Amino acid sequence: MPRYIEGPEVKLTENDKIFVDAEFYTGEKFTELELHRMFPITGLTKYIALVDSEGEQIAIIRDLNDLMEDSRKVAEKVLEEYYMIPRITKFIKMSEKFKVCIIGVYFGKLPTFFNLWLKSCAILTIASYTAVSP
> Residue-wise over 80-113: b if at least 16 C-beta within 10 A, else e?
eeeeeeeeeeeeeebeeeeeebebebeeeeeeee
Residue 120, pLDDT score? 53
What local confidence, expressed as pLDDT, does residue 132 receive? 47
pLDDT tens profile 25-74 = 999 999 999 999 999 878 889 999 999 999 999 999 999 999 999 999 99
> Residue 33 CB: number of other CB atoms within 10 A?
21
Task: Kindly report the pTM of this predicted structure.
Answer: 0.66
Positive or negative, the CA dihedral 86, 113, 130, 90 is positive
